[in-house]
Structure 1
Amino acid sequence: MERKIRAYPGVGIAGHLIQHSALCVPSLYVSRPCLIYVTHGYNVLRTHGGELRIRQGEMLALNGGQTLDVYNGLDEKGLYAGKAIACDPSLVADFGRQHTPLLSPVTSAAIIPDPANQFTQAFDAFFDALMGMPSLPAPIARHRMQEQVLWLAQHGVRLHTAPPVTLSQQVRELLLTDISHAWPAATVAERLEMNEVMLRRRLAAEAEVLRNIIADTRMTHALHLLQNTDAAIAVIAQSVGYESGSRFAERFRKRFGFLPTAIRGHQRQIACPDCGLRNG
Structure 2
Amino acid sequence: MVRKIKVTPGIGTISLLIQHSELFIHDVYINKPQLILVQNGSLSVTNQEQHFTLQAGEMLVINNGQTLSVTHHLPENGPFSCAIMAWDHQLLGDTALYATGFSPPLIAVDTLQVIPHIPAAFKQSFTDTHSAILWHHGLPAPITRHRMLEQLLWLSQLGVRYSLQHSESVTQRVRELLVDNLHKSFTAAEVAEQLMMNEVMLRRRLAAEDCVLRNLMIDVRMTQALRLLQCTDLAISNIAHQVGYESGSRFAERFRKRFGFAPTAIRGHMRPLSAQTMTYNN
Give the aligned residue type for 1:63: N
Query: What's the CA shift for 1:248?
Result: 0.5
Say if 2:111 is the partner of 1:108. Answer: yes
Say if 2:165 is the partner of 1:165. Answer: no
Query: What's the CA shift for 1:43?
Result: 0.9
Question: What residue is the counterpart of 1:232 in the other structure?
Answer: 235
| Contact in 2 for aligned 1:21/1:78 (Cα 8 Å) | no
Say if 2:268 is the partner of 1:265. Answer: yes
Give the aligned residue type for 1:183: F
| Contact in 2 for aligned 1:64/1:161 (Cα 8 Å) | no
Give the aligned residue type for 1:98: A
Residue in structure 1 matching 2:140, options 137, 141, 145: 137
Query: What's the CA shift for 1:120?
Result: 1.3
Query: What's the CA shift for 1:206?
Result: 2.1
Q: Distance in 2 between matches of 1:153 and 1:207?
A: 36
Q: Distance in 2 between matches of 1:194 and 1:97?
A: 36
Spell out, residue by residue over 1:201-237, the C-alpha distance to the aligned partner (whole angstroms, 9 max, x if none).
2212222111100000000000000000000000000
Structure 2's unaligned 5+ residue stretches are none
Give the aligned residue type for 2:128: A
Q: Distance in 2 between matches of 1:99 and 1:188?
A: 42
Runs of 4+ with >6 A deviation: none
Q: Distance in 2 between matches of 1:233 and 1:136?
A: 29
| Contact in 1 for aligned 2:261/2:271 (Cα 8 Å) | no
Question: What residue is the counterpart of 2:85 in the other structure?
Answer: 85
Q: Which has the higher contact order (CA 8 A, sep 6+)?
A: 1
Q: Note closer, same or farther for the CA distance 1:171–1:99 as it changes in structure 2 (3 Å cut).
A: farther
Question: What residue is the counterpart of 1:76 in the other structure?
Answer: 76
Greater Cα shift, 182-191 or 263-272: 263-272
Give the aligned residue type for 2:146: H
Q: Distance in 1 between matches of 2:164 and 2:222?
A: 22
Greater Cα shift, 225-234 or 65-74: 65-74
Q: Distance in 2 between matches of 1:72 and 1:274?
A: 17
| Contact in 1 for aligned 2:4/2:15 (Cα 8 Å) | yes
Secondary structure of the 1:190 match is: helix
Q: Note closer, same or farther for the CA distance 1:178–1:273 as it changes in structure 2 (3 Å cut).
A: same
Q: Note closer, same or farther for the CA distance 1:254–1:90 as it changes in structure 2 (3 Å cut).
A: same
| Contact in 1 for aligned 2:260/2:276 (Cα 8 Å) | no
Q: Distance in 2 between matches of 1:48 and 1:94?
A: 30
Residue in structure 2 matching 1:204, options 207, 227, 230: 207
Q: Distance in 2 between matches of 1:205 and 1:111?
A: 33
Secondary structure of the 2:168 match is: coil
Greater Cα shift, 203-212 or 12-21: 203-212
Spell out, residue by residue over 1:19-65, the C-alpha distance to the aligned partner (whole angstroms, 9 max, x if none).
01001111110010001110001111112331111111001111011
Say if 2:155 is the partner of 1:152. Answer: yes
Residue in structure 2 matching 1:221, options 214, 219, 224: 224
Secondary structure of the 1:105 match is: strand
Query: What's the CA shift for 1:78?
Result: 4.2
Q: Distance in 1 between matches of 2:12 and 2:195?
A: 25
Secondary structure of the 2:45 match is: strand
| Contact in 2 for aligned 1:180/1:239 (Cα 8 Å) | yes
Greater Cα shift, 53-62 or 161-170: 161-170
Greater Cα shift, 91-100 or 210-219: 91-100
Secondary structure of the 2:172 match is: helix
Number of paired residues?
Answer: 275
Residue in structure 2 matching 1:184, options 187, 195, 198: 187
RMSD (Å), alpha carbons: 1.7
- Taking structure 1 as the reference length, the TM-score comes to 0.93
Give the aligned residue type for 1:230: D
Question: What residue is the counterpart of 1:15 in the other structure?
Answer: 15
- Taking structure 2 as the reference length, the TM-score comes to 0.92
